[in-house]
């Protein structure tokens, strides 16, 4: 006879990371600082800030994902190598 039930196990719990985001003052400071940067970096960081894109999502954007007639960006993939 086994003295205890081997199926009685304690499930491990994962630590939940609290989401990090900029408050209004930090976002405004970033926008003001971007005025001194090249256009490609301004577009990248403003897209992430305003659009809420993750780093890998925005890096994976290709020309075919942009619709200039409707002013939209399609996020349908992610570059997971980052």
Q: What are the tens digits of pLDDT across the range 60-79?
A: 888 898 888 998 888 888 87
Q: Is the pLDDT of residue 26 over 90?
A: yes
What are the Cα distances from residue 21, in Å, to 3, 45, 54? 51, 13, 12
Q: What percent of the chain has pLDDT over 70?
A: 96
- Closest to 47 in 3D by CA, of 69, 80, 71: 71
C-alpha radius of gyration, the chain, whole number = 22
Whole-prediction pTM:
0.56
Res 80: pLDDT = 66
């Amino acid at each position: 006879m086994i003295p205890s039930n081997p199926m009685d196990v304690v499930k491990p719990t994962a630590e939940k990371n609290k989401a990090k985001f900029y408050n209004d003052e930090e976002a405004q400071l970033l926008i003001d600082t971007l005025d001194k940067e090249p256009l490609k970096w301004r577009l990248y960081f403003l897209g992430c800030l305003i659009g809420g894109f993750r780093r890998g999502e925005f890096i994976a954007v290709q020309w075919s994902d942009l619709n200039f007639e409707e002013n939209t960006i399609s996020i349908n993939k992610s570059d997971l190598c980052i």
